[in-house]
Amino acid sequence: MKKYFLPLILSASLLLNLTFSIHLLKENIVDYVVDGDTFQLNSGRRVKLLGVNAHEYNECFGQEATEKLTQLIAHKPVFLLENRPDFYHRTLALVYSDFKLINLEMLKQGFAKPDYSQSTKEKEFLEAVKEAKKEKLGLWGKCNNQ
């Protein structure tokens, strides 16, 4: 009996974790992208990329930012870390999809500016923006008043 107890417990734990993970994945599918830094999950929860501020759709490079975020995450599962609410009742989060940190991708490619929110990735974000500015990527090359 003792010989089978540990494998049985480990198997049950693995099954429980897998079930929980599948449940989370189903709830964290991106339903649609609102703009270049905000999207809605199929659960109805609205999420804003933590540390990222994209121009509004009608502003310089806003449409391109929305299209890029759509390309990166629309109808895909996402993982949210460092979640916290904002003033507009959205969830601010570090967003991962396809093993990429989406917040960083948007900044690195010049689709958004930093909003200087505190996170564990703040230094990486600032370095990515510095490089995007230097290379005049995205809004840094297209818009006069970034």
Tokens of 19: 């079930």
Pick the residue with more confidence: 12 or 83? 83
- Cβ of 55: how many Cβ atoms within 10 Å? 23
Q: Average pLDDT over the chain, rounded to whole?
A: 88
Nearest CA among 45, 34, 48, 46 for reference residue 115: 48
The answer, yes or no, to whether residue 16 has pLDDT greater than 90, is: no
- Mean pLDDT value of segment 67-93: 96
Share of the chain above pLDDT 70, in %: 80
The answer, yes or no, to whether residue 73 has pLDDT greater than 70, is: yes
What residue ranges do the domains of the chain occupy? 28-142
Phi first, then psi: give them for residue 84, nearest 5 degrees. Answer: -160, 150
- Res 12: pLDDT: 60
- Res 144: pLDDT: 76
Long-range CB contacts (within 8 A, 24+) of 72-76: 72/97, 72/98, 72/100, 72/102, 72/105, 72/106, 73/30, 73/33, 73/39, 73/97, 73/102, 74/30, 74/32, 74/33, 74/39, 75/29, 75/30, 75/31, 76/29, 76/30
The answer, yes or no, to whether residue 9 has pLDDT greater than 70, is: no
Pick the residue with more confidence: 22 or 110? 110
Q: Looking at domain 28-142, does it have CATH number 3.90.226.10?
A: no
The answer, yes or no, to whether residue 17 has pLDDT greater than 60, is: no
Q: Cβ neighbours of residue 122 under 8 Å, at least 6 residues apart?
A: 51, 116
Please give the model's pTM, rounded to 2 decimal places.
0.82
- Res 25: pLDDT: 52
Pick the residue with more confidence: 146 or 110? 110
